[in-house]
Amino acid sequence: MTTIINFGSCTIDRVFQVPHFVHPGETLPSTGFRIHGGGKGLNQSLAIARAGGRVKHAGRIGPDGDWLRKLLDEAGADTSLIETGEDATGQAIIQVTPDGENAIVICAGANGHITSEHIRRAFSHARPGELLLVQNEVNRLDEIIDVAQARGLRIAFNMAPMTEDALSLPLSRVEFFVVNRTEGEALTGEQSPGAILDAMVDRFPHSRTILTLGSEGAIYGDADSRLAQPAFKVSPVDSTGAGDTFIGYFLAALANGREIWDCLEWACRAAAICVTRAGAASSIPTREEVDQAWE
């Protein structure tokens, strides 16, 4: 099984249940409140670990975030590459509506204080052919990608949250892009799934793209093929973490040598279970749950 190094964020999620997303100037009473572990990086590492994958999480937390490290430890992730500094752990404020939609505001905190020394240490024992997974929630992404490529790692980039800075990164070095429709449009200027994938092939002919479409499922595209996987029908409670669950399960399956169509199906199964539960990290299913669903 191939090792996945996930150089990603860890955040403390403060989740508010609301009747609707708050409007400008409005003070809105919440109908519920919870604190969860989160951050796209942490969520994706948890998903990889719960899927049975071998993952090393590299990142940075503050003194208030040690429980996030324990959360990853308990799931079976290797946390030896997580550093603790004096700066506060990253934070997220999440609104969740009754139909399961979410709106999120994040503060980078410790996620924005990755150093060159940390990057060198994280890849000091990496082997050619291993996978690097990154998102757009930590600093020095260009350096992380450069060092990983120099060590011979294959690179998967979840381009979320999408920013102008992300477009200036060394994207030609990415083997796997994982984007949703909004991120795909920002990358290509196209809106329809087919046009987005065509444009990705034109711009990055040696890369592969996984386009996630929420309740419509996901599509894989490269220079030679397209594969579509419909979503599994469920009654959603909270969509937070569904994309992260999909990515973790897809890469865990890929690292275990499974075919792309199988990776897509397994990832969509996991994401469907995720949206039936509240929270992000707490909603990610185990491998056993996913394997037994829809049998």
Question: Which of 72, 34, 6, 41 has the alpha carbon at shortest distance from 277?
Answer: 34
- CB of 249 within 8 A of CB of 266? yes
pLDDT of residue 295: 65
Query: For helices 260-274 and 242-255, what crossing angle results, to 10°?
Result: 150
Q: State which amino acid sits at residue 206.
A: H
Output the pTM of the full model: 0.93
CA distance 259 to 185: 27
The tens place of each residue's pLDDT in the chain, 295 residues long, gives 899 999 999 999 999 999 999 999 999 999 999 998 999 999 999 999 999 999 999 999 999 999 999 999 999 999 999 999 999 999 999 998 998 788 989 899 999 999 999 999 999 999 999 999 999 999 999 999 999 999 999 999 999 999 988 999 999 999 999 999 999 999 999 999 999 999 999 999 999 999 999 989 999 999 999 999 999 999 888 887 899 999 999 999 999 999 999 999 999 999 999 999 877 788 899 999 999 887 6
| Number of Cβ atoms within 10 Å of the Cβ of 71 | 21
101-105 long-range CB contacts below 8 Å, 24 or more apart?
A: 101/21, 101/239, 102/238, 102/239, 102/240, 103/21, 104/240
Question: Which of 283, 290, 229, 222 has the alpha carbon at shortest distance from 43?
Answer: 283
Q: State which amino acid sits at residue 12.
A: I
* Tokens 């004096």 belong to residue: 86
pLDDT of residue 149: 96
Tokens of 25: 């100037």
The residues annotated with a catalytic role in the active site are: 244
| 265 torsion bin: left (phi>0), alpha (psi -120 to 50), beta (else) | alpha
* Tokens 């809105």 belong to residue: 28
Tell which CATH classification among 3.10.20.30, 2.60.90.10, 3.40.1190.20, 3.40.190.170 matches the domain 3-11+38-90+109-292.
3.40.1190.20
- Report the Cα–Cα distance between both ends of the chain, in Å, rounded: 26
CA distances from 192 to 45, 189, 195, 263 (A): 30, 10, 5, 23
* Tokens 């099984």 belong to residue: 1
Which strand ranges, in their side-by-side order, compose the sheet holding 11-17? Answer: 32-38, 11-17, 90-96, 102-107
| Number of Cβ atoms within 10 Å of the Cβ of 128 | 8
